Amino acid sequence: MSAPIPTGWYTARDCFGGPVPGFRGWTALLTGAALAVPLLASGPAEAAQTADDAAGAYSVTALRFTVDAGGRTCPVDADLYRPDGVDGEHRAPAVVTTNGFGGSKDDDSTAAIARSFASRGYVVLSYSGLGFGASGCPISLDDPRADGRAASGLISFLGGTRAADDGTRIDYVTRDGEDDPRVGMIGGSYGGAIQMATASADHRIDALVPFITWNDLAYSLAPNHTGQRPDSGVSSDVPGVHKFQWTNGFFALGEAQGLLHPNLDPSRLGSGGCLHFVAPACTAKRLLDTGRYPPAQTQRMLDYVREVSPASYLEDVEAPTLLIQGQADTLFNLNEAAATYTTLRDQGTPARMIWQSWGHSGGMDDPAPGELDLGRGNLETSYVGKRILAWFDRYLRGNKAAPTGPAFAYYRDWVDPDDAYATAPDFPAAQGRRMYLSGDGRLVADRDAVRAGTRSYLSTPAATGHSGAALAHFLGVPDPEPYDVPGSHLAWTSAPLPEGLTVAGMPEATLKVDAPSARLTQRSPDAAGKLVLFAKLYDIAPDGTRTLVHRLVAPVRVPDVTKEFTVALPGIVHRYPAGHRLGFVVAAGDTAHYGNSGTGRVSVTSTEGGTGKGGVLKLPVVSGSLPQG
pLDDT digits (tens, 9 = 90+) for 217-245: 999 999 999 988 666 689 998 899 999 99
- pLDDT of amino acid 341: 97
- Cβ(394)–Cβ(387) under 8 Å? no
Q: What is the mean pLDDT of the chain?
A: 88
Cα–Cα distance, 11 to 474 (Å, whole number): 7
Q: Mark 239-254 as b/e (b = at least 16 C-beta within 10 Å).
A: bbbbbbbbbbbbbbbb
Query: If DSSP codes are grouped into helix, strand and coil, which group holds residue 133?
Result: coil
Cβ neighbours of residue 194 closer than 8 Å, sequence gap 6 or more: 98, 129, 142, 147, 148, 151, 185, 187
Tell me: pLDDT of 503 over 60.
Answer: yes
| The predicted structure's pLDDT at residue 381 | 93
What are the pLDDT digits (tens) for 252-311?
A: 889 888 677 665 555 544 445 578 899 999 999 999 999 999 999 999 999 999 999 999
All residues at 6 or more sequence positions from 558 whose CB lies less than 8 Å from its CB, including other chains: 226, 513, 515, 518, 522, 530, 531, 532, 533, 565
What's the confidence (pLDDT) of residue 22?
29
3-state secondary structure of 336: helix
Is residue 501 left, alpha or beta, with left meaning phi > 0 and alpha meaning psi from -120 to 50? beta
Do residues 357 and 363 make contact, with C-beta atoms less than 8 angstroms apart?
Answer: yes
What's the confidence (pLDDT) of residue 207? 98
Q: Which of 7-11, 62-66, 536-540, 544-548 has the lowest mean pLDDT?
A: 7-11
Q: What's the average model confidence in pLDDT over 185-190?
A: 97
401-437 pLDDT per residue, tens: 999 999 999 999 999 999 999 999 999 999 899 999 9
What's the CA gap between 253 and 83, in Å, rounded? Answer: 35
Residue 51 pLDDT class (50, 70, 90 cuts): very low
Cβ neighbours for 252, distance < 8 A, ≥ 6 positions apart: 29, 30, 36
Q: In this predicted model, what pLDDT tens digit does every residue of 472-482 receive, in sequence order?
A: 776 778 899 99
- pLDDT score recorded for residue 377: 78
Query: Omega of the bond prior to 478 within 30 degrees of 0, cis?
Result: no
Encoded amino acid at 469, one letter: A
Q: What percent of the chain has a predicted confidence (pLDDT) above 70?
A: 87
pLDDT at 273: 57
Please determine, for residue 18, whether its predicted confidence score (pLDDT) is greater than 50.
no
Strands (E), 351-463: 351-356, 408-411, 421-424, 431-437, 443-444, 453-459
Q: Are 359 and 214 in contact (CB under 8 A)?
A: no
Q: Which stretch of 24-38, 221-235, 307-321, 584-598 has the lowest confidence by average pLDDT?
A: 24-38
Residue 447 DSSP code: G
Cα separation, 415 vs 430, whole angstroms = 18
Mean of pLDDT values over 115-124: 97
pLDDT for 230: 62
Q: Is 373 exposed, middle or buried (0-12, 13-18, 19+ CB in 10 A)?
A: buried
- Are the C-beta atoms of 374 and 113 separated by less than 8 Å? yes
Within 267-414, where are the H helices? 279-290, 295-307, 310-313, 334-347, 383-395
Please report which residue ranges of 225-293 form alpha helices under DSSP H: 244-260, 279-290
Amino acid identity at 155: I
Contact between residue 170 and residue 80 where contact means Cβ atoms under 8 Å apart = yes
The H or E element that residue 58 is part of is strand 58-68
> What confidence tens digit (pLDDT) does each residue in 95-110 have?
999 999 999 999 888 9
The mean per-residue pLDDT over the stretch 182-210 comes to: 98
pLDDT of residue 34: 25
Rounded to an integer, what distance in angstroms lies between the CA atom of residue 243 and that of residue 230?
Answer: 23
Which amino acid appears at position 519 of this protein?
R
Average pLDDT over residues 485-498: 97
Nearest to 125, CA basis, from 90, 150, 145, 102: 150
- Tell me the mean pLDDT in the region 334-359: 97
Compare 494 and 22 and report the one with higher pLDDT: 494
Non-local CB neighbours of 544 within 8 Å, separated by 6+ positions? none
Q: Which helix (H) or strand (E) holds 103?
A: none
| Residue 79: pLDDT over 60 | yes
Q: What share of the chain is helix, strand, coil (3-state, %, to 5)?
A: 25, 30, 45
Quick one: DSSP state of residue 137? S
pLDDT score for 433? 94
Q: How far apart are CA 86 and CA 123, in angstroms?
A: 8
pTM of the model as a whole: 0.91
Question: Which secondary structure element, helix H or strand E, spans residue 220, and what is its range?
Answer: helix 217-221
8 A C-beta contact, residue 264 and residue 75: no
The reported pLDDT for the residue numbered 146 is 97
pLDDT at 35: 24
The pLDDT assigned to 628 comes to: 78
CA dist list (Å): 70 to 145, 284, 422: 5, 20, 43
Cβ atoms 207, 396 nearer than 8 A = yes
Nearest to 343 by CA among 513, 168, 216: 216
Of 591, 597, 14, nearest to 246 (Cα)? Answer: 591
* Dist. CA 102–CA 256, nearest whole Å: 9
* Measured distance CA(505)–CA(305) in Å, rounded: 26
3-state secondary structure of 146: helix
Taken as a whole, the chain contains a residue count of: 629
pLDDT recorded at residue 471: 75
What is the separation, in whole angstroms, between the first and last Cα of the chain?
A: 66
Residue 84 has pLDDT above 80, yes or no: yes
615 closest CA partner among 589, 585, 595:
585
User: Left (φ > 0), alpha (ψ -120 to 50) or beta: where does 521 sit?
Assistant: alpha
CA atoms of 275 and 130, how far apart (whole Å): 14
Inter-residue contact 380 to 54 (CB < 8 Å): no
The number of C-alpha atoms within 13 Å of 130 and in the hemisphere containing its C-beta is 32
The H or E element that residue 195 is part of is helix 190-201
Task: Return the amino acid letter for 342.
Answer: T
Would you state the pLDDT for residue 50?
45
Stretch among 5-9, 404-408, 421-425, 493-497 having the lowest mean pLDDT: 5-9
